[in-house]
Amino acid sequence: MDSIHVNKWLVLAANFGVLLGVVLVLYEIRQNSELMQVQIRQARADAAVVSNEQTFESAYIPTILITIQQGRELSDEDMIRFVAWFRSMNRNQENVLAQYKFGMLDEHIPQHIEDFARATIWQSKYSREAWQITKPGYSDEYVDFIESMPESDLAD
């Protein structure tokens, strides 16, 4: 009878140990998820800094953006430069949308991307043309998100 009693206590202790192990694994997974979110935010911040530096240190992009803002015509060479810049900006936003869809970013992200689209993609005939040129290179999910914006909300 003693061995049966001891066995029951050992099984109970083993089950408690397994339960404790599961709780610890869940805790570690949660911590790892939080750490990934922090790393993603840092990577996004780093990418934004690099992008801003490249844009404003460029001999071309600031002038191109001013030309577009003023409604003047771009040369063919400047259009090529603008499309390359435009593609990199949208590639970043596409990545941000994917991270949001995976639950890695806050709820304000869709509004941020819509604001970006209004300010960048729909701002001029050049940006709309660049969108048509570059959109086959983005995910269907990103294209659908951008193009689902109500026409009345888009800049002329």
How far is residue 138's CA from residue 29's CA, in Å, rounded to a whole number?
31
Per-residue model confidence (pLDDT) at position 154:
53
pLDDT above 80 (res 151)? no
Per-residue model confidence (pLDDT) at position 50:
75
How far is residue 2's CA from residue 92's CA, in Å, rounded to a whole number?
67
pLDDT above 60 (res 24)? yes
pLDDT digits (tens, 9 = 90+) for 67-81: 999 999 999 999 999
pLDDT above 60 (res 155)? no
pLDDT above 70 (res 156)? no
pTM of the shown model: 0.67
What are the contacts of 47-54 at 24+ separation with CB within 8 A? 47/92, 48/92, 51/88, 51/89, 51/92
Per-residue model confidence (pLDDT) at position 56:
67
pLDDT digits (tens, 9 = 90+) for 58-67: 889 889 999 9
Report the percentage of the chain scoring pLDDT > 70.
89
